[in-house]
A and B are shown apart, each in its own frame.
Chain A
């Protein structure tokens, strides 16, 4: 399977706990993006990496959120001290410089529920 994979697919946690999600992009894609999608809304941009460098962060990404892509391959998104408002689908996507418009290929998402 050469698609984007995300782990876990579902996460239920209690308020105040820390959670970490992983994304494995398509191997030849140098850009990796994180999006958040709440119920009934379109995905919203959180941050993106070009190789290992984090080049942009949305104002949606509060101090409790941190993302890394240490070797320019997989990425992790950590949420500290989770709040009920963090409940959402977290989508990862990757893109290649050879694709016009930087076509994003999305993973299946990680659905987070904060109780």
Chain B
């Protein structure tokens, strides 16, 4: 069975501080995909990044960066120089391999980020 754990339920920072969100996952599949979604107060889930299990390169997109470490089953997300608009709940999610039946997306419990001005 798949499982995603986001141990931090809430993080509060002051604007311009960096914030790192932890994500640890469990799966027996050798091929899988990891995702991060952002859920602002409006409620809609916004896709941020997708990473497949064979690509361990870290990725940077503007102020966002992701650190995928297969050895520790972690896919952490860092926001650099946080801004008030980054305040939201962030979800890490895991999807089983393409060919598998179901192809469910399993979410972690989310981390609420509050950026204070």
Contact = CB atoms under 8 A, between A and B. Distances in A.
Interface in A37-73: 40-45, 48, 55-56
B105 A104 contact: yes
Interface stretch (A12-20, A74-82, A106-114): A106-114
Contact of A106 (B4, B44, B50, B104): B44
A85 interface: no
Given A42-B108, A42-B110, A89-B43, A101 B95 contact: yes
Interface residues of B, number: 26
Interface string A84-115: 00000101010000001111111111010000
Interface residues of A, number: 25
Which of B102, B104, B106 has the most C-beta atoms of chain A within 10 angstroms of its own C-beta?
A: B104
Contact of A108 (B43, B47, B98): B43
Interface of B: 4, 33, 35, 37, 42-47, 50, 52, 91, 93, 95, 98, 101-110
29 contacts: A31-B103, A41-B110, A42-B4, A42-B91, A42-B109, A42-B110, A43-B45, A44-B107, A45-B105, A45-B106, A55-B101, A55-B102, A56-B104, A91-B45, A93-B45, A100-B98, A101-B50, A101-B98, A102-B33, A102-B95, A102-B98, A102-B103, A103-B47, A104-B47, A105-B47, A106-B44, A107-B44, A109-B43, A111-B43
